[in-house]
Amino acid sequence: MTWQDDAGRDLVRSFGPRMAMFVRGEGAYVWDADGRRYLDFLAGIAVNSLGHAHPVFVEALTRQAATLAHVSNYFATPPQLELAARLKRLAGTGDEGRVYFANSGAEANEAAFKLARLHGGADRPRILALTDAFHGRTMGTLALTGKPAMQEPFLPMTPGVEFLPSTIAALEAAVDDRVAALIVEPIKGEAGVVDLPEGYLAAAREITARHGALLIVDEIQTGAGRTGEWFAFQHEGITPDAVTVAKGIGGGFPIGALITFGSASDLFYPGTHGSTFGGNALGTAVASAVLAEIERADLVAAASARGAQIRDGVEALGSELVSGTRGRGLLIGIALTRPVAKAVVAAAAEHGLVINAPNDDTIRVVPPLTIGDIEVDEFLALFAASLRTVQDALLLDGSPHPASPSEVPA
């Protein structure tokens, strides 16, 4: 029996076949069961901010596990209070801000959904979200996720959610005094690292404020310094009403949070929400240590600099398969000229590089924030080799990809 047989038999089929089985990680590298090393520029989907087995992560986890792991939300713990204060400071909420702790991104967005309902009450039944944005897989967050194909097997959805194209004009036309909240992803990661139009967040802030609706920013993928600010909304100089975080803040430990600003911080009252595990001492100690290390090592600025280095390097490859890059900092979408992203990911794995394809013509690159020149250079070499492998296969094939009939052959 191979591990593939075990996985095929025992694991739920909601995921496709696993590409490899990893047994160990260190820094930006992971090793499979055969001892093969891979450069990990997916980082567990923008999760492993400090890379694998970082001493700060290991120390915080083991020390807290040996001290106090979990007591329930009937009680407070020092790491929980430390992380709440840290998140408020980094998000810039001021004193009024509050933090709700969850165990995942979807749970953080579920809390945001309930916040929107508490704000809206009976007078504001409408919740607005953007077409193609991703907010999670639970029934509540799926209702917020503007992808009909994902919703279809699970209809009916929680009512009240409407989807808008990502234009300021569509927002202006849609928002009225019956809207409880607008939720936006500042860069649509799962949709293929798609940027919002210039000025969108500032306009969204102005329009929602004018109508008394909450602006909720889903920073689950963009947060924790990845885009070159602690949170992507900070590039635009706005103050939202709520921000959700997860992925990168735990550095590999599952944790999420909803951070509220101003009067949105007064909406929850005892009995309106809760979680057994949310905010437990183990998770909050790790997240606090991870964020402290990001701060100490100035990895937010590094995300900008390393992101620019990777973008310049990818452009300089001059590959016919690459049309450009999207995203910000170390949240990078590499746009392909042909719908061969899955083939590029497979070729990359063969060359010892982990990346992924959020759609058919985009490669997503979200490495640890700790990468240096060595990892960047190695990535560029492995990525170039992967593109060449795919290009050679296309030449052998001799025809444009069948899925792109409108494409002009190079």
Ligand X SMILES: *Cc1c(COP(=O)(O)O)cnc(C)c1O
> Residues annotated as binding site for N(2)-acetyl-L-ornithine?
137, 275
- Could you give the string, one character per residue 225-264, with x where binding to ligand X holds by CB under 6 A and - elsewhere? ---------------------xx-----------------
Q: What is the DSSP string of 262-297?
A: GGGGGS--TTS---SSTT-HHHHHHHHHHHHHHHHT
Asked whether position 361 contacts ligand X by CB under 6 A, the answer is no
The CB-of-246 to ligand X minimum distance in angstroms stands at 5
Whether 114 is a known active-site residue: answer no
Distance CA(184)–CA(177), nearest Å, equals: 19
| CA distances for 69 relative to 86, 147, 277, 324, 378, angstroms | 20, 38, 10, 46, 39
Q: Which is nearer to ligand X, 30 or 194 (CB)?
A: 194
Compare residues 80 and 109 and give the one whose CB is closer to ligand X.
109
Among 98, 119, 124, 135, binds ligand X (CB under 6 A): 135
CB-closest chain residue to ligand X: 105
Q: Is 110 in the site for ligand X (CB under 6 A)?
A: no
DSSP state of 338: S
Residue number, 110 or 375, with CB nearest to ligand X: 110
Which one from 218, 233, 268, 379 is the annotated catalytic residue?
218
- Give the footprint of ligand X on residues 175-214 (CB under 6 A): 185, 189-190
CA distance 216 to 233: 10
Residue closer to ligand X (CB basis): 221 or 391: 221
- Residue ranges for the binding site for pyridoxal 5'-phosphate? 105-106, 134, 218-221, 276
| Catalytic option among 247, 253, 261, 268 | 247
**Cis status, amide bond into 156, omega within 30 of 0:** yes
Instruction: Give the Cα separation of 215 and 242 in Å (integer).
Output: 7
255 or 343: CB nearest ligand X? 255
Residue bearing tokens 């940027």: 195
Q: Does 221 interact with ligand X (rule: CB under 6 A)?
A: yes
Question: For residue 299, what are its two tokens?
Answer: 């990895």
Sign of CA dihedral 68, 92, 234, 217: positive
Using DSSP, state whether 221 is helix, strand or coil.
Answer: coil
Tokens of 164: 């808008």
x/- site string to ligand X, residues 112 to 131, per CB under 6 A?
--------------------
Separation between Cα atoms, residue 372 and residue 367, nearest integer Å: 11
Q: Does 106 bind ligand X (CB under 6 A)?
A: yes
| Among positions 97, 136, 228, 248, the unique one binding ligand X when judged by CB under 6 A | 136
Encoding tokens for residue 343?
């083939």
247 a catalytic residue: yes
C-beta closer to ligand X: residue 25 or 256: 256
# residues near ligand X by CB under 6 A: 15
361 labelled catalytic:
no
Q: Which 8-state DSSP code applies to residue 301?
A: H
* Residues in Cβ contact with 109 at an 8 Å cutoff, skipping those fewer than 6 apart: 135, 136, 140, 141, 144, 183, 218, 220, 244
User: Which residues, 6 or more positions from 385, have their beta carbon under 8 angstroms from its beta carbon?
Assistant: 347, 351
Among 104, 166, 208, 280, binds ligand X (CB under 6 A): 104
- Report CA torsion sign: 282, 287, 38, 353: positive
Residue set of the binding site: 105-106, 134, 137, 218-221, 275-276
Give catalytic residue positions. 134, 218, 247
Q: Which residues bind ligand X (CB under 6 A)?
A: 104-106, 109, 134-136, 185, 189-190, 218, 220-221, 246-247
